[in-house]
Amino acid sequence: MVTSLNETKFYAKQQRVALRNCGVINPEDIEEYIARDGYSALCKVLTEWTPEDVIKCISDSGLRGRGGAGFPTGFKWSLSAKTKADVKYVCCNADEGDPGAFMDRSVLEGDPHAVVEAMAIAAYAIGACHGFIYVRAEYPIAVHRLQIAIGQAKEYGLLGEHIFGTDFNFDLEVRLGAGAFVCGEETALMTSIEGKRGEPRPRPPFPSEKGIFGIPTMNNNVETYANVPQIILRGAEWFASMGTETARGTKVFALGGKINNTGLLEIPMGTTLREIVEDIGGGVPDGKKFKAAQMGGPSGGCVPAALIDTPVDYDSLTKIGAMVGSGGLIVMDEDNCMVDIAKFFLEFTVDESCGKCTPCRIGTRRLLEYLNKITSGKATLQDLDDMEQLCLHIKSNSLCGLGQTAPNPVLSTLRYFRDEYVAHITEGRCPAGVCKDLLTFVIDKDKCIGCGNCARNCPVNTIVKTDYVAQGHKLPSYEIKTDKCIKCGACMANCKFGAISKK
């Protein structure tokens, strides 16, 4: 007997709203989207609803921005609607740059019309006539399918002039990013669309007053938009019935890292991390122990094993120093060093800092230097305190969200894994065995049978034969001369007798 897909553990707990059509319809055929009630939400609002009705419906649903900050969507729309201007823009942020998050890519590739329809609805609600979708260039298929979708929608009269025979006109164009993480920040994104270096600008003026080319612009994330047509069709109460008091609806997470089932999952807000990791994700592979989950990418933090019963929603996660962010969820096991993970994210932000403001440009660099000092065993405990201070300075003084959140991975690992930092500093030891400068490979001379496989595979020829022959063995054992060792681990990988370990 074959079990239905929806009965498998991975799918049983999921509720698909934003992803409802992904993998179900042919994204390059508008008729398949229409057959799944596509564009009927747009028809409904244009022919039966006033713009105020739309905004009220979105506000009542409790939808909050899915791009990271969790700003109430209905409130954002009402702000933009209030701005008095002849021309307004709507914009879709599809510059999904958080490493480990790929839900926006899936929506654009699997259901591009949902975004097109939602943007038209948003435009009607705030009185805009033109829209931009800013997609990162790393997603060529998403770009291709969006272009097909826009072309088809125009052909069917669902974009353009007098949509559904009304006075509403709306046109949409795709703009490509070129590989800059900071462009996911909304003001930087708008600067990039203008054809400049994608640097953020101070707010106010807010985009709702002065956006792209100085024109009032309302910007939402892909996943936020993908929820909109369903909310219109099924009602605000239906959406609000899912999730928690302060976080309504569902959220898509990208589950990755050391977990058996990787992939996208859409679950009601407030599902616990334990359910995600153990039930949906099927646990950590190879019998290893769950150590922490990193949530929210370079702006987020980690949730340690002790807090695995935390419900996953905006407020609960913020309280413990992590965040929903765009929904990246990377599982780590006992073999991952938390200092190394913090360093990984800092290297990322140092690289991606646009350089406009000093706290971020220089602060993150100094922070990375501290981390390098720690992982190479040269730091003192005083450094740890100084580093914490620096984190707080960067957070409070940076211009945009990138800098304001850049220290989060450090602060969060310090909060839950301070002992690991301390082990690096006072014992010169990396507990997870990751930080190369602190590792030594040793051969257990009583387990070594003297086959010499390690010595033959050593790229720097630093493993030599000794005079010691262990009891029961015929050949003398080997030893590693640590002064020349580059800690590549080739010896350990090639030892068939488990005689080599790293300390």
Partner 1 sequence: MSTRCKIPFKGTKEQEEKLLALIESLKDKKGPLMPVMQGAQEIYGYLPYEVLALISEKMNVPMADLYGVATFYAQFTLVPKGEYQIAVCLGTACYVKGSANVIDKVKEILKIDVGGCTDDGKFSLDATRCIGACGLAPVMTINDDVYGRLTPDQVPGILEKYMG
Q: Which is nearer to partner 1, 35 or 141 (CB)?
A: 141
User: Which residue among 198, 229, 359, 450 contacts partner 1 (CB under 8 A)?
Assistant: 198
Q: How many CB atoms lie within 10 A of CB 430?
A: 23
Give the containing element (helix H, strand E) for 502.
strand 500-502
Per rule CB under 8 A, count of chain residues that contact partner 1: 43
In contact, 134 and 180? CB cutoff 8 Å: no
For partner 1, give the closer residue by CB, 257 or 401.
Answer: 257
Distance of alpha carbon 141 from alpha carbon 27, whole angstroms: 11
Structure tokens, 106: 């899936």
CA distances from 82 to 45, 78, 103, 126, 220 (A): 19, 6, 31, 8, 17
Q: Contact with partner 1 (CB under 8 A): which of 38, 67, 100, 229?
A: 100
Report the nearest approach of partner 1 to the CB of residue 254 (Å).
6
Binding-residue pattern over the window 142 to 181 for partner 1, x denoting contact by CB under 8 A:
---------------------------------xxxxxxx
Task: Using DSSP bridges, classify how beta strands 441-443 and 500-502 pair: parallel, antiparallel or unpaired.
Answer: antiparallel
Q: Name the amino acid, one letter, at 130.
A: H
CA distance 6 to 290: 26
Nearest to 21 by CA among 128, 92, 111, 122: 111
- What Cα–Cα distance (Å) separates residue 46 from each residue in 43, 81, 125, 329, 382? 5, 16, 10, 38, 63
Q: Are strands 89-94 and 217-221 parallel, antiparallel or unpaired?
A: parallel
Give which of 208, 140, 206, 202 is closest to 177, Cα–Cα.
140
Distance of CA 402 to the CA centre of its chain: 13
Q: Minimum distance from CB of 216 to partner 1 (Å)?
A: 15
Q: Which stretch binds partner 1 (CB under 8 A): 12-20, 40-48, 94-102, 440-448?
A: 94-102
Per rule CB under 8 A, is residue 282 in the interface with partner 1?
A: no
**Residue 257 is a binding residue for partner 1 (CB under 8 A):** yes
Binding track over 210-229 against partner 1, x by CB under 8 A:
--xx----------------
| Shortest reach from residue 137's CB to partner 1, in Å | 5
Which strands, in side-by-side order, build the sheet including 263-268?
263-268, 250-257, 328-333, 290-295, 301-304
Q: Is 76 in the site for partner 1 (CB under 8 A)?
A: no
Q: Encoding tokens for residue 420?
A: 């690991």
Out of 38, 74, 256, 311, name the contact with partner 1 by CB under 8 A.
256
What does the alpha-carbon distance between residue 250 and residue 126 come to, in Å, rounded to a whole number? Answer: 25
Alpha helices, DSSP H only, in 353-465?
358-375, 381-397, 401-405, 408-422, 453-457
Q: Is 17 in the site for partner 1 (CB under 8 A)?
A: no
Closest approach of partner 1 to the CB of residue 213, in Å: 6
Query: Where would I find the beta strands (DSSP E) of 169-243?
Result: 171-176, 217-221
Which member of 194, 245, 385, 437 binds partner 1 (CB under 8 A)? 194
Span interacting with partner 1, options 62-70, 118-126, 186-194, 274-282, rule CB under 8 A: 186-194
Q: Which stretch binds partner 1 (CB under 8 A): 118-126, 266-274, 336-344, 449-457?
A: 336-344
Looking at 70-78, 188-196, 232-240, 381-389, which segment touches partner 1 (CB under 8 A)?
188-196
Minimum CB separation of residue 105 from partner 1 in Å reads 5
Specify whether the CB–CB gap between 260 and 284 falls below 8 A: yes
- Shortest approach of partner 1 to residue 475 CB, angstroms? 27
328, 363, 401, 403: which one contacts partner 1 (CB under 8 A)? 328
What separation in angstroms does the CA of 427 have from each of 419, 439, 440, 503?
A: 11, 12, 13, 12
CB of 260 to partner 1, least distance (A): 12
Q: Does residue number 276 form part of the binding site for partner 1 (CB under 8 A)? A: no
- Cβ burial of 299 (10 Å; 0-12, 13-18, 19+) is buried
Q: Considering only residues 242, 303, 322, 354, which one is a binding residue for partner 1 as defined by CB under 8 A?
A: 354
Q: Does 187 bind partner 1 (CB under 8 A)?
A: no
Is 460 a binding residue for partner 1 by CB under 8 A? The answer is no
CB of 113 or CB of 258, closer to partner 1: 258
Does residue 196 touch partner 1 according to CB under 8 A? yes
**Nearest C-alpha neighbor of 463 from the set 443, 480, 447, 486:** 480
Least separation, in Å, of the C-beta of 348 and partner 1? 8
**Site for partner 1 (CB under 8 A): which residue of 160, 263, 270, 282?**
263
Residues that bind partner 1 (CB under 8 A): 96-102, 105, 137-139, 175-181, 192-198, 212-213, 254, 256-258, 262-263, 294, 297, 328, 330, 332, 336, 341, 344-345, 354
